Chains A and B, each alone.
Chain A
Amino acid sequence: MSIKPEERIAATLARLILDPAAPPARHIAVGAASPIPAAACWLVKKQGHPVRLSLLHKRSGNPFTEGSRELFDLTGQGRIDLFFLGGGQIDGQANINLVGTGAWPGTGVRFPGSFGSAFMYVMTPRTILFRDEHSPRVLVDKVDMISAPGVSPPGVFRRGTAQALVTGRCVFRFHPDRARFTLDSVHPGETVASIRAETGFDFDVPDTVPATPDPTEAELALLRGPVCDEMLETYPEFCARVFGRKHAA
């Protein structure tokens, strides 16, 4: 069975979660419509790392007894270490747009909306951005509108920002001090030139850019087995498409 793009992104996210250079991730939250980050978190957990996972949309055994309000209150206090955000558009300053294109509130294409991003991105020490589609329409020079900003002016309370952006083609690291991304690794089949061609924003490139490592056999076995088992109830369509597994209703 060949490696699916979603499996590669999940394994890459898992390595970023465990990055020893980043602040520790003791309590990780996963929001709505986030099957790939959920898979990455379960992979970390099934590898035996002692993390607390709070998956907002888990039905059986949901971690919260006060719904999403409890997630935001925990985050407000600084008790969530890591969160994940996607974006209909993401720009070179790590601003994310979940509202839409054109004029406010999305007169071109309307996306679902900002969810908790305008709070979570600012109040969580670490955020990992993810988006499988890597194209100039998604990765833009400047987002049409800002759901949540990548950096804040001095004096505005902020605990953290993007650690990295993982796409279907590469991994970028974010540097908030200069509000720019650096290319960190490229997935198989990609080059610096092909990433440049598919990216609407300018970014920095080190002298050598390594290949993103493939998921190991052990990681794939965990993803397709115990990780999928945990996700079937919440993400049946994703599990059927990526892991070829059906949820017994």
Chain B
Amino acid sequence: MTPIPLEAMAASVPDGALLALPPDNSLPSVALARALVRRGAKGLRLLGVPVSGFATDLLIGAGCVAEVETSAVSLGEAGFAPRFSAALKEGRIIVRDATCPAIHTMLQAAEKGVPFMPLRGLIGSDILANRPDWRLVDNPFADGGDPIVLLPAKSPDVAAIHGVMADAEGNVWVGRRRELATLAHASKRVLATVERLVPGNMLEDERLAPGCINATYIDSIAIARRGAWPVALLDEYGFDAAHVAEYARLAKTAEGFAEYLARHVLGQPAQAAE
């Protein structure tokens, strides 16, 4: 698989797409999020798998987002996500609240190609009360009186992940974050940015194979050095807490957010670094 330029990858994401992003501790492609901001993407529907972080707040702030389905949005120790909160308050985005295992379960149903899967819990939560697409049924395998929730399969149009490396076959290595395999299996297209390319076929190496997402599921690859930054990437680099704290401070206001974008996303140096 031949890598494509990052900006070409961003151009391949249509406006209005259902775009799945892993949380800050599980390899989101922040590089692709920045490239989507630069391309001026509109109307994206974001899915937090199962929660949302830095990249989601950035895309919302830049006006790229119409809807967010997630179990939470936060910047970790840097606090609440300021552009998400502002957009919700101003009514500029639709927010569909979920709970983490429900998002995993909807993807697992899509992965299996079945229309729905049941999940325990949820009953008595206002999340369920606000999700007309989730159904309460009586467990058909019990003798009655055992209510359980059914969740519809969910298949994202695009999943944006950042792996450590891709090989010549297009397999992408994500290490222990194997929940990304479920996301990849469930999504129509996986766009993977990676730190680097390696020769050969990682699936022939018993130690690397378990951490790979098979090229079957990968639509395209782009090289983006430090493409998870400012969030962490496995043991490659840590979470840049100072940078996220600076973001949180600036993004409290629309003007501060614009200043952040100009400095770190729209400018030439950022493009060169990616």
Residues of A within 8 A of B (CB): 32-33, 57, 59-60, 62, 64-70, 72, 75-76, 98-99, 104-107, 110-123, 145-149, 152-153, 155-157, 233, 235-238, 249
CA distance in complex: A72, B119 (Å): 10
Contact of A57 among B25, B89, B119, B120 (CB under 8 A): B25
B155: Cβ under 8 A from any A Cβ: no
Show 22 residue pairs from A and B whose CB-CB distance is below 8 angstroms, ordered by the A residue.
A33-B77, A57-B25, A59-B232, A60-B235, A67-B178, A72-B104, A75-B101, A76-B119, A104-B97, A112-B72, A112-B73, A112-B80, A113-B72, A113-B73, A114-B99, A114-B125, A114-B127, A116-B101, A118-B102, A120-B121, A145-B126, A149-B124
The secondary-structure label for the interface of chain A is loop
Tell me the minimal C-beta distance from B149 to chain A in angstroms.
Answer: 10
Contact of B179 among A66, A110, A119 (CB under 8 A): A66
Tell me the minimal C-beta distance from B238 to chain A in angstroms.
Answer: 7
Residues of A within 8 A of B179 (CB): 66-70
Tell me the minimal C-beta distance from A160 to chain B in angstroms.
Answer: 12
CA distance in complex: A70, B25 (Å): 15
Residue of B nearest to A145 (CB): B126
CA distance in complex: A123, B119 (Å): 11
From B80, B108, B121, B238, name the one whose CB has the most chain A CB atoms within 10 angstroms.
B121
Pick from B140-148, B218-226, B249-257, B263-271 the stretch touching chain A: B140-148
Residues from 112 to 133 in B contacting A, C-beta threshold 8 Å: 119-128, 130
B196: Cβ under 8 A from any A Cβ: no
Residue of A nearest to B74 (CB): A112
CA distance in complex: A66, B98 (Å): 20
Tell me the minimal C-beta distance from A129 to chain B in angstroms.
Answer: 16
B92: Cβ under 8 A from any A Cβ: no
CB-CB under 8 A for A64 and B121, given A104-B126, A105-B130: no
B70: Cβ under 8 A from any A Cβ: yes
Residues of B within 8 A of A (CB): 25-26, 50-51, 70-74, 76-77, 80-81, 84-85, 88-89, 95, 97-102, 104, 108, 119-128, 130, 145-148, 176-180, 182, 232, 235, 238-239, 241
CA distance in complex: A215, B161 (Å): 44
Contact of A67 among B26, B122, B241 (CB under 8 A): B26
Tell me the minimal C-beta distance from A202 to chain B in angstroms.
Answer: 21
Contact of B51 among A75, A115, A156, A237 (CB under 8 A): A115
CB-CB under 8 A for A66 and B178, given A59-B232, A115-B51, A236-B241: yes
CA distance in complex: A60, B238 (Å): 10
Residues of A within 8 A of B145 (CB): 155
Residues of A within 8 A of B25 (CB): 57, 59
Residues of A within 8 A of B232 (CB): 59
Instruction: Report yes or no: B99 in contact with A156, Cβ–Cβ below 8 A.
Output: no
Tell me the minimal C-beta distance from B62 to chain A in angstroms.
Answer: 19
From A76, A112, A121, name the one whose CB has the most chain B CB atoms within 10 angstroms.
A112
Instruction: Report yes or no: A32 in contact with B88, Cβ–Cβ below 8 A.
Output: no
Residues of B within 8 A of A117 (CB): 99
